[in-house]
Amino acid sequence: MSNRLMQLMRGTGPALLMEAHDPLSALLAADAGFPAVWASSLSMSTAWGVRDSSELPWNLVMTVLEYMADRVEVPILVDGDSGHGNFNNFRIFCRKLEQLGIEGVCIEDKLFPKTNSFRKEGQPLTPIAEMCGKIRAAKDHLRDGAGFAIVARTEALVSGHPMDEALARARAYAEAGADAILIHSKSRTPGEIFAFCEQWKQGTPLVIVPTTYHSVRVEDFIHTPVKAMICANQNLRASITGMRTVCATINRTHTVGEVEDKIATVSSIFSMLDYAELEKSEALYL
């Protein structure tokens, strides 16, 4: 099967992937024209009111993803955290994703339970050999290894290790069969990402997440090995701001009239989810 995430990452310019945390946000990202969505662990956890610390049970993650995959045509790259356990848990997770028609997963070299990258300094990393074993196990266990992209993410720079460690890890993961490498950084500026790009000669595409060095544009990476840039949490953060504003306004003014022209109409919800199709079908079948 051809893999659309891989096709995107073999393209010329970096593709922009938009965060989704539920089927609605995935639908909105796809409607806006993003070629793929990032099912973020931070955002899915937050949407369920739990912390991004492996607190969201993976069967619940699966349910969210099942409905997400059902709603959108664009491919989904799933944030697979540290693989939900060891190589065995990770390969089972990947196989389930494959069954849902999901086209890729990202696994990071952190321990289980994981903690969000922006919490705690110097988080311990998975030994390189163990991480490579997880990548190989998943590839071997998939029904169609070529149809499912495995993005291996190194947290070396985030955890305070030198550039050489990040490069050594990324090279090992690429050799183990990763289809792309996510090089993560929590620096406020993109310097270390550009430095990594300079030294990356492997040919495996790179993926970045500019949450902290957010002034960059996708075009800044055209002449680098970066082939995908993930907007990791902006939909979730926008929804928090939007809902807070609406709650505060209604609570203060004691009327819903104050927000009426600032929020989506009910009829736009009906058209987004194609209620008309159901009515046509009812006429045919009911």
Q: Which one from 22, 52, 109, 179 is the annotated catalytic residue?
A: 52
- In degrees and rounded to multiples of 5, residue 228 shows phi and psi of -150, 140
Find the binder of Mg ion among 3, 25, 41, 54 (CB under 5 A).
Answer: 41
Find the binder of ligand SPV among 42, 107, 149, 226 (CB under 6 A).
Answer: 42
Contact range with Mg ion by CB under 5 A, out of 57-65, 66-74, 75-83, 240-248: 75-83
Asked if 52 is an active-site residue, the reply is yes
Nearest to 154 by CA among 224, 176, 216, 220: 176
Q: Which is nearer to Mg ion, 105 or 166 (CB)?
A: 105
- For position 211 contacting ligand SPV by CB under 6 A, the verdict is yes
Closest contact distance (angstroms) between CB of 232 and ligand SPV is: 4
- For position 40 contacting ligand SPV by CB under 6 A, the verdict is yes
239 binds, among Mg ion, ligand SPV, none (CB under 5 to 8 A by kind): none
**Chain residues 43-62 in contact with ligand SPV, contact rule CB under 6 A:** 43, 52
159 binds, among Mg ion, ligand SPV, none (CB under 5 to 8 A by kind): none
C-beta separation of 11 from 227 below 8 A: yes
Find the binder of ligand SPV among 8, 23, 30, 41 (CB under 6 A).
Answer: 41
Nearest to 38 by CA among 209, 216, 160: 209
Say if residue 255 is exposed, middle or buried (CB neighbours under 10 Å; 0-12, 13-18, 19+). exposed
Q: Radius of gyration (Cα) for the chain, nearest Å?
A: 20
List strand residue ranges (DSSP E) for the chain, in order. Answer: 15-20, 37-39, 76-79, 104-108, 149-154, 180-183, 206-208, 226-231
- For position 82 contacting ligand SPV by CB under 6 A, the verdict is no
Coil, strand or helix: which one is 90?
helix
Question: Which residues have CB under 8 Å from 217's CB, separation 6+?
Answer: none
Q: Locate 127 and state its tokens.
A: 């030994």
Determine the Cα–Cα distance for residues 161 and 27; give it in Å rounded to an integer: 38
- For position 233 contacting Mg ion by CB under 5 A, the verdict is no
Measured between alpha carbons, how far apart are the two ends of the chain, in Å?
A: 38
Closest contact distance (angstroms) between CB of 79 and Mg ion is: 4
Closest contact distance (angstroms) between CB of 41 and ligand SPV is: 4
Find the binder of ligand SPV among 27, 209, 229, 231 (CB under 6 A).
Answer: 209
Q: Which is nearer to ligand SPV, 119 or 143 (CB)?
A: 119
- For position 123 contacting ligand SPV by CB under 6 A, the verdict is no
Q: Which is nearer to ligand SPV, 7 or 116 (CB)?
A: 116
How wide is the angle at C-alpha 171 spanned by C-alphas 165 and 176, nearest 5°? 125
Q: Which is nearer to ligand SPV, 52 or 103 (CB)?
A: 52
126 binds, among ligand SPV, Mg ion, none (CB under 5 to 8 A by kind): none
Whether cis (ω within 30° of 0) applies to the bond prior to 113 is yes
Positions that interact with Mg ion (CB under 5 A): 41, 79
Positions that interact with ligand SPV (CB under 6 A): 40-43, 52, 79, 116-117, 209, 211, 232-233
Which residues participate in catalysis according to the annotation? 52
